[in-house]
């Protein structure tokens, strides 16, 4: 059953006045994609309801705190476009927003419970007394949830070192910061009964709870930092666009009313409703993310994409402008991540190392052809060209194939490997145009 506070004094009225939500990551490591997922849904809920989105740091686990982790959280969420209205770095009237700066408050509130007989001291710590009542609530994602009172045993709220436990500090913070809705991962469902008991002890009406489904990998196991790509920095380094990653996260547990897969953060906010969040754990499918990122890349104009390539690759940036734009135009429809510029087009700005032994073996084993004959015939034909354009090159190379009775696929594959160092490249004739006559002939030699 749900906790009844009908006769209690309500200390704040956020449910009637203002929507206030928060995320509260711990700076104990890198910025996790799960943090971004939770932040996204909180952000959308706040903006949809003209409310306030708060960033709060749960930094009381001093031993596990990682240097630079706070900055990584700020940077990663900002990169994704998830700006917060209140937080440690931007301030706000409900601060401080770091738990380590609120220790006196937790200690004072714990003493209040001791003085009221709802908690007691033991071995230097303070424990909350088991209220022994059944606890339930209507979750905005999972529906009715209840726990028998016997499961809420006496629990520590303030440790002997003066630091609060999670279940205590989060309740105090949410009360004093006037949080109206707690939107967080479903792993916190088991914490909720203890927190509701504390709200009841303080005679405060609790916020509404919505527990989001846990993100899972393709094997339907919970995403793990030891097994899965979950560090937001990796996504950025690999060349995922923030708009694409946000779009992908929107569809994890939520569906667009019109069935659309590509849409903006602004559109997501306008349509967001917790009623459309499914309780079943969504699959974090990196293949779909790659596809979606490729769609976003193709929507960039050539100049914008070119600038992104320049930022990532100094060798590419050193090329002349016309060549860079030509390369960008050639690969735009073929790359799914920005880091694929190196594997797809690295041969343009760095001469490839061609393994001649492997090339000869491939030709002999697969086709029974002499790759040297292919390449020498191509070199002679291209050397005769005066107009170095795609139409002339296409015609000349097909003429070489026809006159020598070469197999077309074999001929162009040898040409591709010799010039680009790989069997997987953009169209080789277009690549030859961009490389230029001298460089192409040098590589064939």
Q: Which residues are catalytic?
A: 225
Question: Could you tell me which residues are beta bridge partners of residue 122?
Answer: 125
Instruction: Tell me how far apart the alpha carbons of residues 346 and 136 are, in angstroms, rounded to a whole number.
Output: 59
Instruction: Tell me how far apart the alpha carbons of residues 48 and 266 are, in angstroms, rounded to a whole number.
Output: 10
Any known ligand binding at 225?
yes
Q: Annotate the chain with three-state secondary structure.
A: CECCCCCCCCCCCHHHHCCEEEECCCCCCCCEHHHHHHHHHHHHHHHHCCCEEEECECCCCHHHCCCCHHHHHHHHHHHCCCCCCEECCCECCCCCCEHHHCHHHHHHHHHHHHHCCCEEEECCEEEECCCCCCEEEEECCCEEEEECHHHCCCEEEECCCCCECHHHHHHHHHHHCCCCEEEEEHHHHHHHHHHHHHHHHCCCCCCEEEEECCCECCCCCECCCCCCCCEHHHHHHCCCCHHHHHHHHHCCCCCCCCCCCCCCHHHHHHHCCHHHCCCCCCECCHHHHHHHHHHHHHHCCHHHHHHHHHHHCHHHHCCCHHHHHHHHHHHCCCCCCCCHHHHHHHHHHCCCCCCHHHHHHHHHHHHCCCHHHHHHHHHHHHHCCCCCCHHHHHHHHHHHHHHHCCCHHHHHHHHHHHHHCCCCCCCHHHHHHHHCHHHHHHHHC
How many residues comprise the chain? 445
- For residue 154 the two structure tokens come to 């006496």
Give CA angle at 366 (364, 372), nearest 5°.
40
Annotated binding site for ATP: 225
Annotated binding site: 225
């Amino acid at each position: 059953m749900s906790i009844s506070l009908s006769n209690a004094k309500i200390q704040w009225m956020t449910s009637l006045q203002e929507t206030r939500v928060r995320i509260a990551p711990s700076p104990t490591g890198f910025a996790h994609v799960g943090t971004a997922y939770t932040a996204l849904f909180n952000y959308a809920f706040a903006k949809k309801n003209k409310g306030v989105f708060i960033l709060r740091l749960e930094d009381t686990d001093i031993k596990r705190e990682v240097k630079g982790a706070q900055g990584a959280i700020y940077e990663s969420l900002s990169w994704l476009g998830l700006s917060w209205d209140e937080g440690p770095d931007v301030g706000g009237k409900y601060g401080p927003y770091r738990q380590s700066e609120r220790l006196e408050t937790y200690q004072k509130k714990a003493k209040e419970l001791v003085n009221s007989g709802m908690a007691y001291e033991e071995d230097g710590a303070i424990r909350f007394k088991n209220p022994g009542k059944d606890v339930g609530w209507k979750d905005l994602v999972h529906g009715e949830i209840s726990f028998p009172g016997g499961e809420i045993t006496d629990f520590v709220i303030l440790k002997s070192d003066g630091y609060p436990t999670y279940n205590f500090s989060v309740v105090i913070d949410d009360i004093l910061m006037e949080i109206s809705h707690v939107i967080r991962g479903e792993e916190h469902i088991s914490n909720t009964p203890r927190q509701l008991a504390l709200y009841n002890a303080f005679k405060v009406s609790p916020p509404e709870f919505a527990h989001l489904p846990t993100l899972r990998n393709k094997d339907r196991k919970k995403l793990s930092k030891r097994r899965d790509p979950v560090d937001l920095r990796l996504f950025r380094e690999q060349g995922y666009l923030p708009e694409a990653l946000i779009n992908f996260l929107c569809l994890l547990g939520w569906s667009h009313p019109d069935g659309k897969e590509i849409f903006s953060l602004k559109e997501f906010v306008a349509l967001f409703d917790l009623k459309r969040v499914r309780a079943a754990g969504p699959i974090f499918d990196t293949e779909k993310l790659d596809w979606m990122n490729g769609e976003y890349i193709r929507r960039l104009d050539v100049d914008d994409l070119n600038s992104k390539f320049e930022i990532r690759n100094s060798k590419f940036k050193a090329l002349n402008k016309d060549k860079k734009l030509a390369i960008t135009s050639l690969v735009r429809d073929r790359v799914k991540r920005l880091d694929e510029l190196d594997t797809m087009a690295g041969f343009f700005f760095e001469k490839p190392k061609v393994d001649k032994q492997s090339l000869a073996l491939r030709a002999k084993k697969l086709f029974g052809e002499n790759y040297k004959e292919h390449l020498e015939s191509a070199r002679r034909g291209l050397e005769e060209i005066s107009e170095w354009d795609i139409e002339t090159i296409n015609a000349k190379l097909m003429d070489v194939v026809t006159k020598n009775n070469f197999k077309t696929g074999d001929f162009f594959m040898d040409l591709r490997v010799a010039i680009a160092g790989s069997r997987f490249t953009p169209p080789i004739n277009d690549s030859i145009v961009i490389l230029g006559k001298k460089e192409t002939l040098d590589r064939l030699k």
